[in-house]
Structure 1
Amino acid sequence: MIDFKNASYAKLKPVPAGNWEPAVSPMFVNGEQIIEAFQGIRDGVIFTNKRIISVNVQGVTGKKKDFTSLPYSKIQAFSVETAGVFDLDSELELWFSGLGSVKFEFVSNANVSAICQTIGSFVL
């Protein structure tokens, strides 16, 4: 489960959806599909057309995984900070009703604008 008091995922880079599909597809509802997928060192964040799934890989072997489902319907607000000249990372912060906030930090080549469009289309 995401620790909403210290919820920060750093240095997420875009990866092919197939990297995470075997792990998350058993949880999908009818018609759900991956829009974009990102990975840190071991953890991942998957944006589907229904929700955001955060995957926390645990243990030495990485066989144990924690999946947190964050439905778009619970997002109250979101904020984006794009990459700059000296600060090459982009940040996305989401506020969830009754839960708190989560911050995702992306590498400079991540298309944060597309992520915002995706979230906006489901939230607004």
Structure 2
Amino acid sequence: MGFLDGLMGNASQVDVNKLEKELEGILIDGEEIQSGYKVLRDSFIFTDRRLLLLDKQGMTGKKVEYHSIPYKSITHFSVETAGSFDLDSELKIWLSGSNEPIGKLFKKDSPIEEVQQTLAAYVL
């Protein structure tokens, strides 16, 4: 189901150790990854200092655009849990200066509560 979930836009949690190796040249000294999630080839990573969005481009995905969002730029966020018929949870993040939120879908068994707690710890 992992591949089908990816095609449907669902996010899955990524191993922090794998992310640390992948982001070795991007993270600053002392910055620690808290959690990370992947949608197809793209990822969003919560560190203790910022939210990193990775946009892999091209056929091979070797070209990557890194969006670095300081937590102070997040004006508000919402988390919608899965229901009986709606099997997906959803995360929306609004940034200062932007009208449209960044939105990601999570499969039913994803730890959406952990995502909410991570955002709350750094934004509030």
> How does the TM-score come out when normalised to structure 1?
0.85
**Structure 1 gap segments, 5+ residues each:** 1-9
**Residues in 1 aligned to 2:41 and 2:82: alpha-carbon distance in whole angstroms:** 23
Aligned-pair Cα RMSD in Å:
1.6
Q: Deviations over 1:29-54 (max 9, x none)?
A: 23211111111211111111111111
What SS does the aligned partner of 1:76 have? strand
What's the counterpart of residue 33 of structure 1?
Answer: 32
What's the counterpart of residue 3 of structure 2?
Answer: none
Paired letter, 2:76: A
**Residues in 2 aligned to 1:50 and 1:117: alpha-carbon distance in whole angstroms:** 15
**Residues in 2 aligned to 1:26 and 1:120: alpha-carbon distance in whole angstroms:** 27
RCO higher in 1 or 2 (8 Å CA, sep ≥ 6)? 1
Q: How many percent of aligned residue pairs carry the same amino acid?
A: 37
**Structure 2 gap segments, 5+ residues each:** 1-8
**Residues in 2 aligned to 1:97 and 1:41: alpha-carbon distance in whole angstroms:** 27
What's the counterpart of residue 114 of structure 1?
Answer: 114
What's the counterpart of residue 49 of structure 1?
Answer: 48
**Residues in 1 aligned to 2:64 and 2:22: alpha-carbon distance in whole angstroms:** 9
> How does the TM-score come out when normalised to structure 2?
0.85
Paired letter, 1:47: F
Paired letter, 2:65: D
- Number of aligned residues: 116
Give every structure 1 segment of 4 or more consecutive aligned residues whose post-TM-superposition deviation is greater than 3 Å: none
